[in-house]
């Protein structure tokens, strides 16, 4: 059995690829859009392959879950990140993990997450969401509360200069910002560059995060927050796990003019932890949060989901 854990109704080519694989292997194809773990486990003995995207998943593929899927051969995720999967356990159990992280020729055609980062930056700088909410909910009409900043006057720190960091940086440069970069691939001695970057934190109006979670868990920690501007706009469209959230909330409470704009939260696949986090956000007025929509544009979905399904076919030697 092949289980599809994400909505692909708008992606007929992806659906065709999954149907082709199942026809070749004589598998059943089951669509379970964002099921609970209990629902998924109803099929645990029959599942040979899983096709998914983590944005809406309610399942973390940890050691317990992977061990229960005794016949699972392949877990194919239409994403660059794999924080929702215990990679070591998958390797130990002989489960093949397919993701799209290294396929830059396709990924460079998908700028939508960088575009969202730019949008969140503008929202944080110009207080768009706050102005809208207070106008609608409180009948407020007072521009003096929402005086923001224009990009050409700003100094911006960008952490991560891969595909998305480069696109975002170009957007900010084209708008006139002064941009500073931090990325080990740009460094001769990263520890020296990291130290110098931290020394500049107090001067950055905006800090944008464009790094993978793997190996960077808690990278933005208390030592970072201690040196940031009191009115900084911190933008995260990468992964929630790269920010120490206890330090974040403490910083935001002490600095009400600072803004955290994020498309991601830690442990998104856990309903309980996600809801606890959102409750905390609801009591923190200087957070803007979107629902992991960075890659959820029609063009991005077609390319990313299509690539993942083609890689799944290739694994079973069914490429076109």
Q: What is the pLDDT of residues 257-305, one digit of tens each?
A: 999 999 998 877 777 778 888 888 888 899 999 999 999 999 999 999 9
pLDDT digits (tens, 9 = 90+) for 103-160: 989 998 999 999 999 999 999 999 999 999 999 999 989 898 899 999 999 999 999 9
Q: What domains are defined for the chain?
A: 2-103+298-315 (3.40.50.720), 112-289 (3.40.50.720)
- How far is Cα 60 from Cα 229, in angstroms, rounded to an integer? 36
**176-214 pLDDT, tens per residue?**
999 999 999 999 999 999 999 999 999 999 999 999 888
pLDDT in tens, 48-87: 999 999 888 889 899 999 999 999 999 999 998 888 899 9
Whether 148 and 127 have beta carbons less than 8 Å apart is answered as yes
Q: What is the pLDDT of residue 318?
A: 85
Sign of CA dihedral 208, 212, 213, 218: negative
CA–CA distance, 162 with 215 (Å, rounded to integer) = 15
Dihedral through CA 180, CA 185, CA 189, CA 194, nearest 10? 40
């Amino acid at each position: 059995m092949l289980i599809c854990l994400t909505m692909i109704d708008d992606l007929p080519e992806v659906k065709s690829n999954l149907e082709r694989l199942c026809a070749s292997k004589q598998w059943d194809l089951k669509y379970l859009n964002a099921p609970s773990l209990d629902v998924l486990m109803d099929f645990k003995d029959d599942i040979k392959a899983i096709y998914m995207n983590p944005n809406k998943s309610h399942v973390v593929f940890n050691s317990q879950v992977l061990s229960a899927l005794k016949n699972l051969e392949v877990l194919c995720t239409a994403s660059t990140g794999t924080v929702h999967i215990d990679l070591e356990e998958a390797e130990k159990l002989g489960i093949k993990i397919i993701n799209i992280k290294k396929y830059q020729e396709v990924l460079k055609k998908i700028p939508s997450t960088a575009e969202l980062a730019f949008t969140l930056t503008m929202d944080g700088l110009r207080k768009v969401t706050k102005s809208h909410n207070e106008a609608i909910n409180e009948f407020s009409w007072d521009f003096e509360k929402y005086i923001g900043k224009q990009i050409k006057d700003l100094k911006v720190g960008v952490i991560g200069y891969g595909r998305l960091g480069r696109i975002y940086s170009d957007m900010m440069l084209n708008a006139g910002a002064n941009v500073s970069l931090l990325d080990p691939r740009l460094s001769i001695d990263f520890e020296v560059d990291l130290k110098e970057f931290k020394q500049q934190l107090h001067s950055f109006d905006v800090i944008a995060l464009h790094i993978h979670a793997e190996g960077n868990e808690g990278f933005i920690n208390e030592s970072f927050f201690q040196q940031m501007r009191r009115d900084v706009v911190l933008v995260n469209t990468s992964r929630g796990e790269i920010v120490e959230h206890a330090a974040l909330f403490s910083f935001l409470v002490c600095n009400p003019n600072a803004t955290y704009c994020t498309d991601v939260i830690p442990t998104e696949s856990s309903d309980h932890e996600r809801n606890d986090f959102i409750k905390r956000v609801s009591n923190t007025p200087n957070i803007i949060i979107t629902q992991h929509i960075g890659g959820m544009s029609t063009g991005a979905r077609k390319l990313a989901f299509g690539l993942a399904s083609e890689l799944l076919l290739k694994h079973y030697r069914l490429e076109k």
